[in-house]
Structure 1
Amino acid sequence: MQISQKYSLIYLITNLGLLFVYDLKTATEVYSTKISSVPILLTSEAFSVGGFYVVDTCGVVSLATVNESTIVSFVSRKLEFAAKLGNPSGAEDLVERFQELFAETSTKKKLNLR
């Protein structure tokens, strides 16, 4: 498990090569995928990019991090989907606020929207 202070995300990497990404503040799953077809030996935080390094049993070292150019649209789609499900917890207001911040501020501020 690695924690990205840069993006306020928790990266949970299993030895089977599965990646689960959670929001640090709410523990809500943000993303999941398979990142390796071979077992993972170890991980280490990549402080400068807000991601992590992975070393697998074949000796391959990989770097994984957030793609800043696509995360805004990804989060926006997730929020809109929650609003369409009729989420009564204010998802529509959150989508509107996110869109406002998208138009005027930096990516880091958008990721810390609460």
Structure 2
Amino acid sequence: MGADATRKPRSLLADIVREQRRQAHKACAEIREAADSAGCPLPSLAVESTSAITGSVLVQLGGAPPDVITKLAKVIRAGTIALAAEVRPGEHADLISEPTAVNGTGVS
């Protein structure tokens, strides 16, 4: 028997969950970096286990002190207003699009 005979067959569900976990870890890192740079650290931020009910992988934002959450709300509100101001007539605001580089610096 070769090495291939001992390898488990690939599961489509396992591949889907693996990709969801990869995306969740990337999103978790992005929100951690953004929150930290805004002075709003989220100490309980984590990727959850796959939900037995939905089968989805979720990012748990966790708890933070009220002053941090209030500041984070202000940052989100200001960002939403700034994004809406960038929209020209006839366009719609896609507030969940990927961040883009500013002035070619690679900084969003």
TM-score range with shorter-chain normalisation?
under 0.3
Structure with max Cα Rg: 2
Which structure dedicates a bigger proportion of its chain to strand? 1
State the TM-score, normalizing by the size of structure 2.
Answer: 0.27
Which structure dedicates a bigger proportion of its chain to helix? 2
